Structure 1
Amino acid sequence: MTTMIPYGRQDISDADIQAVVDVLRSDYLTQGPAVPAFENSVAGYCGAQFGIAVNSATSALHIACLALGVGPNDIVWTTPITFVASANCVLYCGAQVDFVDIDPRTYNMSVERLAEKLAQAEKFGNLPKVVIPVHLCGQPCDMASIHALSRQYGFKIIEDASHAIGGKYRGEPIGNCRYSDITVFSFHPVKIITTAEGGMAMTKDAQLAKRMQLLRSHGITRDVNEMTHVPDGPWYYQQIDLGYNYRMTDLQAALGLSQMQRLDEFVARRHAIAKRYDRLLADLPVVTPWQHPDSYSGLHLYVIRLKLKEIGGTHRQVFEDLRAAGIGVNLHYIPVHTQPYYEGLGFKAGYCPEAEHYYDEAISLPMYPGLTEAQQDKVVDVLREVTAK
Structure 2
Amino acid sequence: MIPYGRQDISQQDIDAVVAVLKSDFLTQGPKVPAFESALTSHTGAKYAVAVNSATSALHIACMALELGEGDWLWTSPITFVASANAGLYCGAKVDFVDIDSRTYNLCPNELEIKLERASVEGCLPKVLVPVHLCGQPCDMKRIRELCNKYDVKIIEDASHAIGGYYEGQPIGSCHYSDITVFSFHPVKIVTTAEGGAALTNDHKLSEKMALYRSHGITRDQDEMTEVSHGDWYYQQITLGYNYRMTELQAALGISQMMRLKEFVAIRHKLAERYSFLLKGLPVLIPYQLENTYSGLHLYVIRLQLDEISATHKEVFEELRVNQIAVNLHYIPVHMQPYYKAMGFKYGDYPDSEQYYKEAISLPMYPGLSESEQDKVVKVLTSSLASK
User: Which TM bucket (shorter chain)?
Assistant: over 0.9
Partner of 1:194: 191
Partner of 2:87: 90
TM-score (norm 1): 0.98
The amino acid of 1:105's aligned partner reads R
Aligned-pair Cα RMSD in Å: 0.8
Partner of 1:278: 275
Q: Please list the CA deviations of residues 277-334 of structure 1 after superposition, one character each: whole Å capped at 9, or x if unmatched.
A: 0000011110000011121000000000001111111100000000001111000000
1:264 alignment partner, one of 254, 257, 261: 261
The amino acid of 1:322's aligned partner reads L
Residue 22 of structure 1 and its aligned partner are, at CA, apart by 0.2
Partner of 1:230: 227
Cα distance, 1:226–1:299 mapped onto 2, change above 3 Å: farther
Q: Please list the CA deviations of residues 28-72 of structure 1 after superposition, one character each: whole Å capped at 9, or x if unmatched.
A: 000010000000001110000001000000000000000000000
Partner of 1:42: 39
Partner of 1:203: 200
2:324 alignment partner, one of 324, 327, 334: 327
State whether residues 136 and 163 of structure 1, in contact with CA within 8 Å, keep that contact through their aligned partners in structure 2: yes
| In 2, Cα distance between equivalents of 1:225 and 1:165 | 37
2:26 alignment partner, one of 24, 29, 37: 29
TM-score (norm 2): 0.99
State whether residues 305 and 363 of structure 1, in contact with CA within 8 Å, keep that contact through their aligned partners in structure 2: yes
The amino acid of 2:20's aligned partner reads V
Report the secondary structure of 1:303's partner residue: strand
The amino acid of 1:356's aligned partner reads E
Partner of 1:347: 344
Question: Which shows bigger deviation, 228-237 or 133-142?
Answer: 228-237
Report the secondary structure of 1:360's partner residue: helix
The amino acid of 1:97's aligned partner reads V
2:212 alignment partner, one of 206, 211, 215: 215
| In 2, Cα distance between equivalents of 1:168 and 1:124 | 36
Report the secondary structure of 1:97's partner residue: strand
Report the secondary structure of 1:293's partner residue: coil
Report the secondary structure of 1:94's partner residue: coil
Report the secondary structure of 1:53's partner residue: strand
Cα distance, 1:248–1:284 mapped onto 2, change above 3 Å: same
Report the secondary structure of 1:200's partner residue: strand
Partner of 1:136: 133
| In 1, Cα distance between equivalents of 2:282 and 2:222 | 64
| In 2, Cα distance between equivalents of 1:146 and 1:81 | 17
Partner of 1:156: 153
Report the secondary structure of 2:73's partner residue: strand
For structure 1, which runs of at least 5 residues remain unmatched after alignment? none
1:183 alignment partner, one of 180, 183, 187: 180
Cα distance, 1:190–1:256 mapped onto 2, change above 3 Å: same
State whether residues 108 and 136 of structure 1, in contact with CA within 8 Å, keep that contact through their aligned partners in structure 2: yes
The amino acid of 1:332's aligned partner reads H
| In 1, Cα distance between equivalents of 2:226 and 2:72 | 37
| In 2, Cα distance between equivalents of 1:231 and 1:85 | 42
The amino acid of 1:237's aligned partner reads Y
The amino acid of 2:43's aligned partner reads C
| In 1, Cα distance between equivalents of 2:80 and 2:330 | 6
State whether residues 231 and 237 of structure 1, in contact with CA within 8 Å, keep that contact through their aligned partners in structure 2: no
1:298 alignment partner, one of 295, 298, 304: 295
State whether residues 224 and 230 of structure 1, in contact with CA within 8 Å, keep that contact through their aligned partners in structure 2: no
State whether residues 75 and 129 of structure 1, in contact with CA within 8 Å, keep that contact through their aligned partners in structure 2: yes
For structure 2, which runs of at least 5 residues remain unmatched after alignment? none
The amino acid of 1:272's aligned partner reads K
Q: Please list the CA deviations of residues 126-150 of structure 1 after superposition, one character each: whole Å capped at 9, or x if unmatched.
A: 1000100000000010000010011
The count of residues paired between Structure 1 and Structure 2 equals 386
State whether residues 227 and 240 of structure 1, in contact with CA within 8 Å, keep that contact through their aligned partners in structure 2: no
Residue 226 of structure 1 and its aligned partner are, at CA, apart by 7.1
| In 2, Cα distance between equivalents of 1:136 and 1:306 | 18
Report the secondary structure of 2:325's partner residue: coil
| In 2, Cα distance between equivalents of 1:36 and 1:302 | 33
| In 1, Cα distance between equivalents of 2:227 and 2:84 | 41
The amino acid of 2:351's aligned partner reads E
State whether residues 7 and 366 of structure 1, in contact with CA within 8 Å, keep that contact through their aligned partners in structure 2: yes
Report the secondary structure of 2:67's partner residue: coil
Partner of 2:246: 249
Report the secondary structure of 1:342's partner residue: helix
